[in-house]
Amino acid sequence: MSYQAPIKDMLFVMNELANLDAISALPGCEDATRDTAEAVLEENAKFVSGVIAPLNHAGDKEPSYWHDGQVTTSKGFKEAFRQFGEAGWQGLQHPQEFGGQGLPKLVGTPCVEMLHGANLSFALVALLSDGAIEALLTAGSDAQKATYLAPLVTGKWTGTMNLTEPQAGSDLAAVRTRAEPQGDGTYKVFGTKIFITYGEHDMTENIVHLVLARTPDAPPGVKGISLFIVPKFLVNEDGSLGARNDVQCVSIEHKLGIKASPTAVLQFGDHGGAIGTLVGEENRGLEYMFIMMNAARFGVGMQGIGLAENAYQQAVAFARDRVQSRDVAGSSGPVTIIHHPDVRRMLMSMRAQTEAARALAYVGASYHDIARHHEDEETRAAHHAIYEYLVPVIKGWSTELSENVARDGVQVHGGMGFIEETGAAQHYRDAKILTIYEGTTAIQANDLVGRKTLRDGGKVAQHLIAQVRATGTQLGETEDTAFAAIRQRLEQGAADLEAVVAFVLANAKSDVKAVFAGSVPYLKLAGIVLGGWQMARAALVAQQKLAEGNGDAAFYTAKIATARFFAEHVLVQSGALRAAIVDGHASVLALAEDQF
Ligand SMILES: Cc1cc2nc3c(=O)[nH]c(=O)nc-3n(C[C@H](O)[C@H](O)[C@H](O)COP(=O)(O)OP(=O)(O)OC[C@H]3O[C@@H](n4cnc5c(N)ncnc54)[C@H](O)[C@@H]3O)c2cc1C
């Protein structure tokens, strides 16, 4: 079964929850009308289901391979990327002056989700180019922009992100790669980078590596890291390709999942030094890389949502088809497994979590658009702060749940789920990387606690909790039992999140380990409460549409039922998470190291 983009739900979320109309009223976003957005989504869906999705399973079976420094990507990838670039999909969200379409993030996000849903391995190359483009747009010089942006935006070249080294994974303070100034504005780069996604491939004629390295006088730690552009082929002044640069792919990894995407070990400078140019100022590299990482972290969150959607679709198709056992309430013979309550529970859980994560991410994208385009500086700053709070939640929570969704997808298939031919197992294997790269869930949670909660004294968190409560009040205005159930769980979730934020603020100085013992549960709690909030908002819109007799009644009743399921089965976990964080921190740290 091939992936079908859930366009109806995507449009519902964009229009009704993320308020596309308000986004298209922003200066510079006028083209993003409902009609345009719908046309873009439909065209993108055709492209990904026709060209990209069919390469997913084949790429898993026949991964990219390395030979003598060259990487040959899985069959069909090169041609598909050519079509992807030529059709303008890489440039969807990027500025028109560099060959992009200049559409807001809210319109680009569903397209990103579709691409990841169709084929995670393929979509990664686009995700990394997006990150490189963002970093150069923000911190690149005019000359760097003129040289690199148009080829990246049009998919003529691709970008990479070179952070990780054998001793420097989560801890980038340990980066050792050296960059020595040559006195002519260039640097020579020496070192080894590992795990570099699409660090080498045959899909484009050039690869633009963005590399973290240290200059000779740099201070130790993260304050001494600079960012460099090191292209695979040097670029002449007229934009044509020059000499091959001194960066070699010495191997690629054999992996649990995302097998078609090459993960490279790159050796810089073994033959005299790889020539690079500094991005922005020396020692500010991590700050610039954070721009790229924030874009990529949001993108990895979308990977989780796309993958979860695909796993869900596949499980539903299997459950409709597989006949096994009688109906527990009685039937003349065996029934399709979708009749069994436990299979329903799994399908509802997969569906509800995917829809909640999608809604939260698209609303996050709309905050990003307001932060970038609104005329009023204060409004921009306020939305930027909310978006920044949401990024680790979108990355961490959506990817953690995608693993659970993919696991349930295997379970729905029974034994066939364990057999590679169905594809359910591939989703499960592919999902595992999402909670690791671009910062593990723990690193997202550290970010949520440190930069996003403590730094502003919990201001953004409390602002969001107040909005959740306002939705709770709206739910109370209807007598429907489904809405009462959603309200009860949502209000309890808001109270639990508020208590945890208060705990974090109260204890960060006096007992920092207690706070960080609960950082990942805090991230999950924020995800389920804010995701549950979006589901509640969706239910309210659906109720309104039903009352107006407006639109697809089956879609809206399903929305309300799914929101209720989310409240009763997912939001209900908020109390347990709160208890684990507030009451359970001591036991996390109770054993001495030698007791393990
Ligand atoms: C397939 C793949 C593709 C990748 N692509 C890229 C890429 O394109 N570019 C790139 O630069 N890197 C890439 N990476 C590297 C990836 O980002 C790192 O693997 C990841 O950040 C984790 O670092 P690590 O592997 O060194 O694990 P470690 O940092 O050693 O972490 C091990 C464990 O310790 C925990 N831990 C570490 N520090 C802390 C802390 N402060 N608080 C709490 N827990 C902590 C982690 O959460 C984890 O559970 C890729 C990795 C893989 C496997």
Tens-digit pLDDT profile for residues 227-268: 999 999 999 999 999 999 999 999 999 999 999 999 999 999
The amino acid present at 269, given as its one-letter code, is G
pLDDT at residue 290 in the model: 82
pLDDT for 1 beyond 80: no
User: What is the rounded CA–CA span in Å between residue 463 and residue 60?
Assistant: 44
| Orientation of helix 481-507 relative to helix 459-476, angle to 10° | 160
Strands 65-67 and 334-336: unpaired
Residue 216 pLDDT grade (very low, low, confident, very high; cuts 50, 70, 90): very high
pLDDT at residue 2 in the model: 82
The residue with tokens 């204060």 is 378
Half-sphere exposure of 181 (CA within 13 A, CB side): 11
Mean of the pLDDT values across residues 314-332?
96
Beta bridge partner(s), residue 168: 165
The amino acid present at 489, given as its one-letter code, is R
Mean of the pLDDT values across residues 326-353?
97
Ligand 1 pocket (Cβ < 6 Å) reads 161-164, 169-170, 195-197, 255, 263, 433, 436-440, 442-443, 446
Distance between Cα 288 and ligand 1 center (Å): 19
Q: Give the other-Cβ count within 10 Å of 41's Cβ.
A: 20
Residue 503 pLDDT grade (very low, low, confident, very high; cuts 50, 70, 90): very high
- The pTM assigned to this predicted structure is 0.97
Determine which one of 165, 200, 388, 438 is catalytic: 438
What is the share, in percent, of the chain residues with pLDDT greater than 90?
97
Asked if 246 and 263 count as a contact pair (C-beta separation under 8 A), the reply is no
Beta bridge partner(s), residue 197: 263
Mutate to test the pocket of ligand 1, among 222, 436, 446, 588 (most ligand atoms within 8 A of CB): 436
Residue-wise pLDDT tens digits, 532-584: 999 999 999 999 999 999 899 999 999 999 999 999 999 999 999 999 999 99
User: What is the rounded CA–CA span in Å between residue 74 and residue 201?
Assistant: 10
pLDDT for 338 beyond 90: yes
Distance between Cα 196 and ligand 1 center (Å): 12
Work out the mean pLDDT of the chain and round it to a whole number.
97
Distance between Cα 161 and ligand 1 center (Å): 13
Residue 272 pLDDT grade (very low, low, confident, very high; cuts 50, 70, 90): very high
The CA–CA distances, whole Å, from 19 to 11, 32, 43, 367, 458 equal 10, 11, 21, 10, 26
The amino acid present at 552, given as its one-letter code, is D
Q: Is 438 labeled as catalytic in the residue annotation?
A: yes
Distance between Cα 307 and ligand 1 center (Å): 21
Q: Which residue minimizes the CA distance to atom 13 of ligand 1?
A: 195
Apex CA 296: angle with CA 90 and CA 141, to 5°?
Answer: 70
pLDDT at residue 295 in the model: 87
Distance between Cα 565 and ligand 1 center (Å): 34
Longest C-alpha distance within the chain, in Å? 85
Mean of the pLDDT values across residues 496-517?
98
Mutate to test the pocket of ligand 1, among 120, 128, 129, 170 (most ligand atoms within 8 A of CB): 170
The residue with tokens 């380990």 is 513
Q: Which residue minimizes the CA distance to atom 32 of ligand 1?
A: 170
User: What is the rounded CA–CA span in Å between residue 348 and residue 293?
Assistant: 32
pLDDT for 65 beyond 90: yes
Looking from the CA of residue 168, the nearest atom of ligand 1 is 26
Mean of the pLDDT values across residues 83-99?
96
Residue 363 pLDDT grade (very low, low, confident, very high; cuts 50, 70, 90): very high
Look at residues 436, 437, 431, 434 and name the one whose alpha carbon lies nearest to residue 406. Answer: 431
Looking from the CA of residue 162, the nearest atom of ligand 1 is 11
pLDDT at residue 291 in the model: 81
pLDDT for 393 beyond 70: yes
